[in-house]
A and B are shown apart, each in its own frame.
Chain A
């Protein structure tokens, strides 16, 4: 019952919010709904089981908790952010209302996709989440925002179409073993019966699902929608987009990977995932050097980290899966914190180009220091957790594919170097003039919460969390 409520609460909130004209009440309702969704998601680990519609296993429970947590802090963050956007005239009252509706719909459909036990439902939920995301990116209604959302729609639409074809083929592969009807479309039944599937059909389905959902995971070469969507959409959405939709797609890919790995005759799913992941990592690491827009810059950094996670999942085995899951979790938390800071910084400085934002520590000490901490964290430096997960991924690489440690290392160093370069220009040096209101300290609390979690998870992970991640990694094949 609780599992049903997790996606249902935000979706119902989206419907109700459509009728709430008052922005402040709407904002608080968004906070309430996403907090409720997070609280319910936290109960999922005690609700394990597979139903007709929903599947609660460690993977879906973990991802649902993470997604709803980011959804909750983003809702907190949005309250003041939207207020300032309305004062400066970038959003009007109607758009602000649409924003809350779409944010909740996006969150609800992502949670549904994560918890779904049905190939078709997963697909439909991801499609609906994409539509909500496209709409919310185009919300500022500037030419550039509309172009970005159109580009996102075209690319993601093609990805979604390919994923549907893969879904149909996967059903076709499952049908002889499971018989016609719903069981042949349920993730839990597929996982049990996958060793008996016809390998050629399974291979064909894998290729389509990898490309299709890989588009949503922003894996190169189909990552092009991601930087535009981040740069032009409202900043809080960038925080959710960067973490959550990538995670949803990666979670689906992980399930497909599990099916492939358990079938002895199917092609090994690892190398294709590693290849796409490594390509994304390298491409994004070098692309980071030629960015002039702050949000676009961090979007490329998300492509890089998503690529690294896909690479780790490609290696496979408990150690790499542990590292990959930890990496996904920490990156989501860090990136959401960074985008929250970037959103405040661009409101403070009245622009989102690197040329507009400089010397943040001098002009707003707390904001500058928080952003600096976030950048250090995403560059994979201690004491932040990404250091541990990247270290573990490197270890796993050296153990199973020693030669690949070189390109992975190069990608990480080149990317990290670019991040430090920008850290200096953004946070240190002479401050650029302020053109808008700065954040109050309370506005930065969500970002601090995220970064504190990242430090704890990276450096002093409680035994219970270690056990949880070990169970999680052990359940994945």
Chain B
């Protein structure tokens, strides 16, 4: 792999991670959805780039699926949903912007510290991309924790899956990537479907998961 291929792959991986930070501090629901769509778009470009650089044409399929479903179809559907239900309002975060960013930086440092030493003998690109991917996964989890509404949790979940796809495409010669992409997509579609069709908003009035505490224990 030449210098350019290597640098570009890094650039796209880094951009996906940067967009994870953007997801953490956005204050409006539509902005969160846009940031997610952008992350999926960059991921699609990263997958296409890996397909070209590794000479693995099946990864183009992964790129196409990511672009079509995650960067276009799901965000459009979500926008539609938000507009119809008039939910575009300021979001609350369990933590402030600064603490979430600080924790995010900590998570990135953690994943670098975890991944780089153990992958010492692997391909350089693989190991660094794996560190980036793990950071994206952990940041997605962080978003699921700090953002309290069901829709933002789903977006955090989807961003986490973006990290997984990034990991899968950057491991050279990994088989079944396309199949895994599809399986992941089914999971995501199901998550979005859950919010839409289980009418979590209708039932809980605010799409907030705080209500889940009701399924707690106690003599009712």
Q: Are the CB atoms of A124 and B180 closer together than 8 Å?
A: yes
Query: For chains A and B in complex, what number of residue pairs have CB atoms within 8 angstroms?
Result: 127
- What residues on A are CB-neighbors of B220 within 8 Å? 292, 353
Contact of A291 among B161, B171, B204, B217 (CB under 8 A): B217
Q: Are the CB atoms of B167 and A201 closer together than 8 Å?
A: no
- What residues on A are CB-neighbors of B118 within 8 Å? 200-201, 203-204
Separation of A291 and B183 alpha carbons in the complex (Å): 37
Contact of B203 among A131, A143, A185, A198 (CB under 8 A): A143
- What residues on B are CB-neighbors of A134 within 8 Å? 190
B195 to chain A, nearest CB (A): 9
Q: Are the CB atoms of A146 and B198 closer together than 8 Å?
A: yes
- What residues on B are CB-neighbors of A171 within 8 Å? 171, 174
B74-82, B83-91, B119-127: which one contacts chain A? Answer: B119-127
- What residues on B are CB-neighbors of A123 within 8 Å? 180, 183
Chain B 151-165 interface residues, beta-carbon cutoff 8 Å to A: 153, 157, 160-161, 163-164
Q: Are the CB atoms of B211 and A147 closer together than 8 Å?
A: yes
Separation of A164 and B218 alpha carbons in the complex (Å): 36
Interface string of A137-173 (1 = CB under 8 A from B): 0100001101111110110011011101100110110
Chain A 278-297 interface residues, beta-carbon cutoff 8 Å to B: 290-293, 296
Q: Are the CB atoms of B194 and A164 closer together than 8 Å?
A: no
> Which residue of chain B lies nearest to A118 when distances are taken between CB atoms in the complex?
B176
Separation of A143 and B205 alpha carbons in the complex (Å): 12
> Which residue of chain B lies nearest to A185 when distances are taken between CB atoms in the complex?
B175
Q: Are the CB atoms of A158 and B164 closer together than 8 Å?
A: no
Q: Are the CB atoms of B173 and A138 closer together than 8 Å?
A: no
Q: Are the CB atoms of B180 and A164 closer together than 8 Å?
A: yes
Chain B 22-66 interface residues, beta-carbon cutoff 8 Å to A: none
A425 at the interface (CB under 8 A from B): no
B215 at the interface (CB under 8 A from A): yes
B114 at the interface (CB under 8 A from A): yes
Q: Are the CB atoms of A150 and B114 closer together than 8 Å?
A: no
Q: Are the CB atoms of B219 and A200 closer together than 8 Å?
A: no
Contact of B194 among A121, A153, A291 (CB under 8 A): A153
> Which residue of chain B lies nearest to A175 when distances are taken between CB atoms in the complex?
B173
Q: Are the CB atoms of A131 and B190 closer together than 8 Å?
A: yes
B16 at the interface (CB under 8 A from A): no
Separation of A293 and B114 alpha carbons in the complex (Å): 43
Interface string of A266-283 (1 = CB under 8 A from B): 000000000000000000
B71 at the interface (CB under 8 A from A): no
- What residues on A are CB-neighbors of B132 within 8 Å? none
Q: Are the CB atoms of A157 and B183 closer together than 8 Å?
A: no
A461 at the interface (CB under 8 A from B): no
Separation of A204 and B65 alpha carbons in the complex (Å): 29
Q: Are the CB atoms of A157 and B191 closer together than 8 Å?
A: yes
B200 at the interface (CB under 8 A from A): yes
Separation of A127 and B144 alpha carbons in the complex (Å): 19
Q: Are the CB atoms of A172 and B171 closer together than 8 Å?
A: yes
- What residues on A are CB-neighbors of B119 within 8 Å? 172, 200-201
Q: Are the CB atoms of B175 and A182 closer together than 8 Å?
A: yes
Separation of A290 and B203 alpha carbons in the complex (Å): 28
Q: Are the CB atoms of A158 and B130 closer together than 8 Å?
A: no
B58 to chain A, nearest CB (A): 12
B186 at the interface (CB under 8 A from A): yes
Interface size on B, residues (CB 8 A): 53
- What residues on A are CB-neighbors of B117 within 8 Å? 200
B17 at the interface (CB under 8 A from A): no
B179 at the interface (CB under 8 A from A): yes
Separation of A172 and B120 alpha carbons in the complex (Å): 12
Separation of A355 and B194 alpha carbons in the complex (Å): 33
- What residues on A are CB-neighbors of B126 within 8 Å? 172
Q: Are the CB atoms of A161 and B215 closer together than 8 Å?
A: no
Interface string of A64-82 (1 = CB under 8 A from B): 0000000000000000000
- What residues on A are CB-neighbors of B204 within 8 Å? 147
B184 at the interface (CB under 8 A from A): yes
- What residues on B are CB-neighbors of A232 within 8 Å? 215
Q: Are the CB atoms of A296 and B217 closer together than 8 Å?
A: yes
- What residues on B are CB-neighbors of A200 within 8 Å? 117-120
> Which residue of chain B lies nearest to A141 when distances are taken between CB atoms in the complex?
B198
Contact of B150 among A150, A172, A204 (CB under 8 A): A150
Q: Are the CB atoms of B215 and A148 closer together than 8 Å?
A: yes
Q: Are the CB atoms of B164 and A150 closer together than 8 Å?
A: no
B102 to chain A, nearest CB (A): 22
Chain B 166-202 interface residues, beta-carbon cutoff 8 Å to A: 167-168, 171-176, 179-180, 183-184, 186-187, 190-191, 194, 198, 200
- What residues on A are CB-neighbors of B3 within 8 Å? none
- What residues on A are CB-neighbors of B134 within 8 Å? 165
A157 to chain B, nearest CB (A): 6
> Which residue of chain B lies nearest to A160 when distances are taken between CB atoms in the complex?
B187
Q: Are the CB atoms of A146 and B200 closer together than 8 Å?
A: yes
23 contacts between A and B (CB under 8 A): A120-B179, A124-B183, A144-B214, A147-B211, A147-B214, A149-B198, A150-B209, A154-B144, A154-B153, A154-B209, A157-B157, A157-B187, A161-B160, A161-B164, A164-B164, A165-B167, A168-B174, A175-B171, A180-B175, A182-B175, A182-B176, A203-B118, A292-B219
Nearest 8 pairs of A and B residues by beta carbon: A180-B173, A200-B118, A120-B176, A124-B183, A147-B215, A292-B219, A228-B215, A168-B167
Question: A128-B186, A147-B204, A292-B219 provided; 17 other pairs, C-beta below 8 A?
Answer: A120-B179, A146-B200, A149-B198, A153-B190, A158-B144, A161-B157, A164-B164, A164-B184, A172-B126, A175-B171, A180-B172, A182-B175, A182-B176, A198-B121, A201-B122, A204-B118, A291-B217
